[in-house]
A and B are shown apart, each in its own frame.
Chain A
Amino acid sequence: MSSLLRLTGTIASRGFAEGPLVPLVAAASRNRAGGNFADETSALNAAIARAAADLASLMASNGGDAADVLEFQLAMLEDVSLAESAFADIAAGTAADSAWAKTLGEQIGIYTAADDEYFRARSADLRDIRDRVLRALTGAADFRPPAGAILTGDDITPSQFLAADWSKGGAIALRQGSAASHVAMLARARGVPMLVGLADLPLNGAPVALVDAEEGTILLAPDAESRAHFHESQSAAAARREQAAAAAHLGAATADGTRISVHVNVAEPGEVESVDIATCDGVGLMRTEFLYTHGLPDEETQLDAYRRVVHWASGKPVVIRTVDAGGDKPVPGFTVEESNPFLGLRGLRLALAKPDIFRVQIRALLRVAREGNVSVMFPMVSLRSEYVAAEKLFREESQGLAAQGIPQAIPRLGIMVEVPAVAIAPEFLDGAAFFSIGSNDLTQYVMAAGRDNGAVASLNDPTHPAVLSLIRNVVRVGAERHIPVSLCGDAGGDPAALPALLATGLRSISVAPAQLPLAKLAISGVRLEARP
């Protein structure tokens, strides 16, 4: 194992690949002999025109996302202000290629220095433009990597990606690069594995390497043992995907036939568009914080957003959570600055402290409730009095809307169980129509380990016996008092945590849309009844 070199990077596009490491070739830097002012000006003009024509034909042959990326490059190239200073340098006696390289170098520098990752990632497009025009000036050939290769370099341009033949596999491994780059977007769309941020990656090529872009690793100079292990992981991943796809439309049930309800979590309405409602039992958590990212949303804006999800659900249940804001994610005019926001005025506490803002959301929820199977839940409830106060606001606004003749209905009103006080003694909240266990916050509060702190990540375990014992307690009280119980944290979509969660008696979970197939698959492998 000593000669093995395993490097870990950031996954920009998932998948597996095995192939030779091929360095991406930098732009030809063959110097032209500079001619006179007129010759150099017309040479650069011709090279820009040639590059634009090449881009237009690449756009025509690729289409889709690739055409969008190339259209941006073409628009930049056709903008006369891009080459302005290059022509000025030519007038001062510089050769066309040096003048162009210097001008584009300055532009690339501006993008590379940007604070915003998205703008930084555009520097690859600028390099692409620079190199395409330089090739036209110097007559250098286009880069054509062999099919099936793992392309290595500091970064990769969209043109280099599009010039490669991905039909025989292959991957991209970069020392720098970005998961926000145009190439990363294209790689995800075409299923090309891609790792970025491999700072120590050698760039001198190699006969074979293994890219595991599910784990985020690249293995250089692999031996027979590591290759066998790689092939196992690869075929296991393929089998999981196939099984999951095949089971997508089946209801979820354990190996011994117990039906489990599986809902999806929705962070913003656009997410449901890629989900077939037939593959799940409804929405277990629709977050509403996205509405507050630009300030306070009005009633109609909220109603439109809720409608999109409720109509998509086609009669299946949709649980909408009232705004869960706090000092850690400030909303101007709403949240308050606090030294310890996770233990402060957040969730329902904040909503009740700012009833005028909360009432706007309540009216939108009352209006959407008559258009589907809608429930509403309150986050960060600790006391029965908080639930009662929120319920009272719903009744008051309902009467107000009714008086104005606006159609509405009072939805079922439930609570998130995430404050340990409620998980320990849920019977004090038995007025609620349902309990939804927020395992992320419950775990962080029970274990006293912040969710956003990597240093205490190992403490943040939803399968710790203390957390499971509280979940079991909530399930038990719910069963005794006929209050439905569900769970909507990340643990519900974690195949490793699911067996322990179902063993507590939990029969309903809600997971991120991307976790849906694998969660159902994991459930089908669970055996609840103790074997003799």
Chain B
Amino acid sequence: MSTQSSNLVEASVLINHEVGLHARPSVKLTKVAKAFAARIELAIGVGGAWVDAKSIVKVMATKAPKGAVLFLRAEGQDAQDAVAALIALVERDFDEGNAHVVAP
């Protein structure tokens, strides 16, 4: 799902990762976000506060669990590509597969 008005792009995606938006997924997400010039923000759930998607400190602080809906909004020249790349990363489950072994 994404909507576009002038150069503001918005979208949302379901986080399927076994333990949510945790350390390694956050590293990957902020790395992808930083590759774009656009101002990118994310929020968890409908009521979540918008935070800078390029700041791992702020992304981790959202404590987004598995099953949370991640909302994205980006503004700038490459906003459309940035949002598409971030959605794809979450949909690929951060390239970690689902073979996550839960500690005993």
A residues in contact (CB < 8 Å) with B? 11-12, 68-69, 71-72, 75-76, 79, 81-82, 107, 110, 114, 116, 118-119, 122, 125, 178-180, 182, 184-185, 268-271, 273, 294
CB-based contact B103/A122 at 8 Å: no
User: When chains A and B are docked, how far (Å) is the Cα of A125 from the Cα of B52?
Assistant: 21
Closest 3 CB pairs of A and B: A270-B99, A179-B103, A72-B23
User: Secondary structure of the A side of the interface?
Assistant: helix
Asked if B11 is an interface residue, CB under 8 A from chain A, the answer is: no
Contact B98 A270, beta carbon cutoff 8 Å: yes
Q: Are B57 and A81 in contact (CB under 8 A)?
A: yes
Interface: B76 (CB within 8 A): no
Query: Do residues A122 and B16 form an inter-chain contact, with CB atoms below 8 A?
Result: no
Q: Which of A71, A79, A116 touches B63 (beta carbons < 8 Å)?
A: A116
State whether A75 touches B61 (Cβ < 8 A). no
Which among A72, A122, A271 is the interface contact of B99 at CB below 8 angstroms?
Answer: A271
* Among A11, A75, A82, A294, contact of B104 (Cβ-Cβ < 8 Å): A11
CB-defined contacts of B85 to chain A, threshold 8 Å: none
B interface residue numbers (CB < 8 A to A) = 14, 16, 19-20, 22-24, 26-27, 30-31, 52, 55-58, 60-61, 63, 65, 67, 97-100, 103-104
Q: Is the CB of B63 within 8 A of A72?
A: no
Contact A270 B97 (CB under 8 A): yes
A26 to B5, CA, bound (A): 53
Given contacts A81-B55, A82-B57, contact A118 B27 (CB under 8 A): no
Query: Assuming A116-B19, A180-B103, what are 18 further A-B pairs, CB within 8 angstroms?
Result: A11-B104, A68-B24, A69-B23, A72-B27, A75-B27, A76-B56, A79-B55, A79-B56, A79-B57, A110-B61, A116-B65, A122-B60, A125-B23, A178-B103, A185-B103, A268-B99, A269-B98, A271-B99
7 A-B interface contacts by CB (under 8 A): A79-B56, A81-B52, A81-B55, A114-B63, A179-B103, A273-B99, A294-B14
Kindly provide the distance from the CB of B28 to the nearest chain A CB, expressed in whole angstroms: 10
Chain B residues whose C-beta falls within 8 Å of the C-beta of A82 in the assembled complex = 57
Let me know if B103 and A12 touch, CB within 8 A.
yes
Identity of the chain A residue whose Cβ is nearest the Cβ of B65 in the assembled complex: A116
Residues of A within 8 A of B98 (CB): 268-270
Q: How far is the CB of B95 from chain A (nearest CB, A)?
A: 12
* Interchain CB contact under 8 A, B56 and A122: no
